[in-house]
Amino acid sequence: MRAGLKFVLGELTVVLTLVVLTLVAVDGRPASAATVAPSSFSGPTGVAACGAHVWVTNVTGDSVTELNASDGTVAQVIGSGRGHFAEPMGVAANGADLWVANLSGNTVSELNCSHGSLVQTFTSGQLNSPVAVAVGHARVWVASQAHQSYGAGAVIPDSSSVNEYSIGKSPLTQSIAGSSANGLNGSSGVAISRGKAWVTNANGNSVTELNAATGHLVRTISGSAEAFNWPIGVAAHDGDVWIANLYGNSITEINASDGSLIRVITGDGLNGPNSLCVLGKHVWVTNLFGDSVTELDSGAGSLVRVVKQRADGFDAPMGVVASGSTVWVANQYGNTVTELNAADGSLLRIVR
């Protein structure tokens, strides 16, 4: 069966025509190590781990799905009526609460991780198509792409932004509007590490580094050496910043202390890399166009493995998070979540 997959990239709304494969068996074996009974996924996009739970945003279902991390069973599905969701995409958690960016709602929903109740909804600041959320240093950071237009072909100028909120309080701490000075342009990803906020700019082919305490600009990184080409996903860990270049089929690694380039990784099964996470000494990357996941050694940047089997259920993988000894991948078109063993990349289960 063929149908369209919709996702937003900076100023563009892209519709892909993909092929849906029904997995029954491979070489006479079951299609997965364990398959959980059907649940309500509808365009699963973002994924976050919070204590004993894994939370998944459903961009086409205006809902979030809560999973039990121990066995992948569905705890609940929270619809738009309870969480005020409107095309939820990015999600982040801190162990007590989680925050969901609502693309078309221009809001951020805060939920309690334990039972999913709505804590509050952020509406202040320049929330203009928010797509990514990060939590750190008692703050919540939200990146807004600003892909909306006044009319056909008319893109809102300088309307990308980054908003900072205090955890436990609804008032806005600060709102940073896009400008030629800070490079915020189609801001699509955000990560917090070592007192810095790192923002990817898909339209600008750049990365903006901000002081997480003050919001002041540290630097904007761009140039041919970094090979940014629609940088989307970003993860920061242990002194390094990793950026996924969707159309460059590459990963750019930057030194977090001074913004210098460490390396650009190509090949290694990278095909539309769009999200990534770090677990220990390994970086996990989803490949949107390759229906696969690439695992890299974070120290050397070398390939550990490419996980690409029909049985793994990858179908437009859009989000990834590592928790404990497992890696969870949200498959937007497949309406599934794949859980992998982080030690060897083997399939643990597919949640449908």
* 265-272 LR contacts (CB < 8 Å, sep 24+): 265/296, 265/301, 267/303, 268/294, 268/296, 268/303, 268/306, 269/294, 269/303, 269/306, 269/308, 270/294, 272/246, 272/247
Sign of CA dihedral 324, 272, 210, 295: positive
Checking if the pLDDT of 39 tops 60, the result is no
- The CA–CA distances, whole Å, from 119 to 48, 84, 111, 132, 314 equal 17, 11, 5, 19, 33
> Please, is 343 exposed, middle or buried when counting C-beta atoms within 10 Å of its C-beta (0-12, 13-18, 19+)?
exposed
What is the DSSP secondary-structure string of 283-304? EEEEETTTTEEEEEETTT--EE
Q: What is the pLDDT of residues 288-304, one digit of tens each?
A: 999 999 999 999 999 99
| Residue 59 or 20, more confident | 59
Q: 94-105 burial string, b = 16+ CB within 10 Å, else e?
A: eeebbbbbbbbb
pLDDT at 151 over 70: no
The mean pLDDT value for 79-90 works out to 84
Per-residue pLDDT, averaged over 316-345, amounts to: 96
Does pLDDT of 173 surpass 80? yes
The pLDDT score that the predictor gives to residue 80 is 65
214-233 pLDDT, tens digit each: 899 999 999 999 999 999 99
Indicate if the pLDDT at residue 205 is higher than 70. Answer: yes
Mean per-residue pLDDT, 310-337: 95
> Worst-scoring range by mean pLDDT, 8-17, 130-139, 143-152, 167-176?
8-17
Pairing of strands 261-266, 273-279: unpaired
DSSP conformation class of 37: P
Question: What does R_g of the chain's alpha carbons equal in angstroms?
Answer: 19
Q: Which domains does the chain have, with CATH numbers?
A: 2-351 (2.130.10.10)
Q: pTM here?
A: 0.87
* Sheet (strand 161-166) strand order: 130-136, 139-144, 161-166, 172-177
Confidence band for 153, pLDDT divided at 50, 70 and 90? very low
Mean pLDDT of the chain: 86
As a whole number of angstroms, the distance between CA 86 and CA 79 comes to 10
